[in-house]
Amino acid sequence: MSFDNNNSPEIKNSLLRFFKEEKVTIETKIEVVASRPEDKDTNPQLKNQEQVLHIPREAAVTANSQYINRLVMNGFTPRWYVVFHLNNYRYTPECPEFDGDVQHVKNSILQNVYGSKFRKKPLVGKYKRARMVWSTEFGKTKDRPHVNLLLEDFPHPWDAQKSLEILFNFMLPKSARCVWKNSAHIQPIHQPTKDNLIRYICKESNWKNTALDYTLSDTIR
């Protein structure tokens, strides 16, 4: 998900607020560079914006990792790490179709597991659905878009690795055609490696691409 593929300044303001709340320690200060009037005319991404937020990569990785750890402290219990590829090589963080496609992927996962009424499942409580944290990476060459997913246990029979492999490798590509068939890799999450894994899925974070998808990820307050 990209910060600069949305003309709303709320994304920048909310992230800056998050940095202050989390008290992220960084050696390099966040630079707020005022855009020049001619930039607004030549770059539609900067239209009606007076500032462009530049965030050092390491600071973005740290902030996203801390955000996930805060979800864990609030009750998020990731059981599975899932990575699967998208088959549209034209995807970029700025691609206008990208956000809608990955939202459809999430809906397809939940519908396959919970049925058509999955939207009525709460995120907390005895009858809650499994919660997810989404991260998207495009690779160094930008031609291998893939999704990193931290996933809580689904209800039986989707709580076993074999069942999840069937779901992500075969069932999901049928309902979400942007998913590459038989591309998913699934492994259980163990406590000793959890912190490293959280940081790993945030490794491509920078000021242009958050890597962590705050819209798709389930928020636990």
For helices 10-22 and 57-73, the axis angle rounded to 10 degrees is 70
Check residue 208 and report its DSSP letter.
Answer: S
Output the CA–CA distances (angstroms, integers) from residue 19 to 25, 59, 170, in the order listed.
9, 9, 40
User: pLDDT in tens for each of the 221 residues of the chain?
Assistant: 443 444 445 444 554 555 455 444 433 333 333 333 333 334 444 344 334 455 677 777 888 888 898 999 999 999 999 999 998 666 666 677 888 899 999 999 999 999 999 999 999 988 999 999 998 887 766 667 889 999 999 999 999 999 999 999 999 999 999 999 999 999 999 887 788 888 878 776 665 667 788 889 998 77
Residue 93 to residue 45: CA distance in whole angstroms: 13
Contact yes or no for 147/70 (Cβ under 8 A): no
Sign of CA dihedral 11, 16, 17, 18: positive
Domains and CATH numbers, the chain: 10-70 (no CATH), 74-213 (3.30.70.1910)
Q: Which pTM was predicted?
A: 0.69
Please report, for residues 43, 101, 133, 207, the alpha-carbon distance to residue 216 in angstroms, rounded to integers and kept in the order given. Answer: 28, 11, 7, 19
Judge contact between 135 and 203, C-beta under 8 A. no
Distances from the Cα of 166 to the Cα of 32, 46, 169, 185, angstroms: 47, 44, 5, 11
